[in-house]
């Protein structure tokens, strides 16, 4: 397992499909994970510290864990099958619950839990960024500083 940082969310053009970008903490690989618009908004809200007027699903999950006296120790991206990332929530260091990768990341950001990725997944799906491409990553980070969760909301979608 390798620890990763959540760099943020961007919209891939021309498909308008959101991706969350993870960066290997002690290495140079980046892992893009395509996600849904609702999950993109949830991740962006957490990174920007937005507190909605009522709890979103991931806020509710965090609050339930806290109220029951449990802790999300870490999330793990454990499998890549048919281009779909699978994750596990590790509660109190011993209980494992299956999760979508995007939900696990959104919850990890709300609880401060570590995000880990199986080394084999990084070997298979991560990209290595050259020094030229590193400039693009910096532009991406600047973009993340400017994007808001509302950019991922669809008209007519109340949630």
CATH number at residue 7: 3.10.690.10
pLDDT at 52: 86
Is 158 within a domain?
no
pLDDT digits (tens, 9 = 90+) for 103-122: 999 999 999 999 999 999 99
Total of domains in the chain? 1
User: pTM of this prediction?
Assistant: 0.80
Is 12 within a domain?
yes
pLDDT at 32: 95
Rg, the chain, Cα only: 15
Note the helical H segments in 17-130. 37-48, 57-67, 101-111, 119-125
Contact 23, 7 (CB under 8 A): yes
Residue 97 pairs with which residues in a beta bridge?
89
Give me the half-sphere count of Cα atoms (radius 13 Å) on the Cβ side of residue 138: 6
Mean pLDDT estimate for the chain: 88
pLDDT classification of 74: cutoffs 50, 70, 90: very high
Is 156 within a domain?
no
Is 34 within a domain?
yes
Domain of residue 23 covers 2-151
Is 157 within a domain?
no
pLDDT digits (tens, 9 = 90+) for 83-103: 999 999 999 999 999 999 999
Is 92 within a domain?
yes
Is 130 within a domain?
yes
- Whole-angstrom Cα distance, residue 38 to residue 22? 18
Is 159 within a domain?
no
């Amino acid at each position: 397992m390798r620890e990763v940082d959540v760099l943020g969310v961007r919209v891939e053009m021309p498909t308008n499909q959101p991706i969350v970008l993870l960066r290997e903490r002690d290495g140079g690989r980046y892992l893009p994970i395509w996600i849904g618009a609702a999950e993109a908004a949830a991740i962006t809200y957490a990174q920007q510290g937005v507190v909605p007027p009522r709890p979103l699903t991931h806020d509710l999950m965090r609050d339930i864990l806290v109220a029951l006296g449990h802790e999300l120790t870490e999330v793990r991206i454990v499998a890549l099958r048919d281009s779909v990332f699978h994750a596990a929530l590790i509660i109190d260091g011993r209980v494992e619950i299956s999760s979508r990768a995007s939900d696990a990341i959104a919850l990890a950001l709300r609880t401060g839990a570590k995000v880990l990725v199986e080394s084999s997944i990084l070997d298979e799906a991560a990209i290595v960024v050259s020094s030229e491409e590193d400039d693009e990553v910096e532009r991406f980070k600047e973009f993340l500083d400017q994007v808001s969760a509302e950019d991922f909301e669809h008209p007519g979608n109340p949630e």
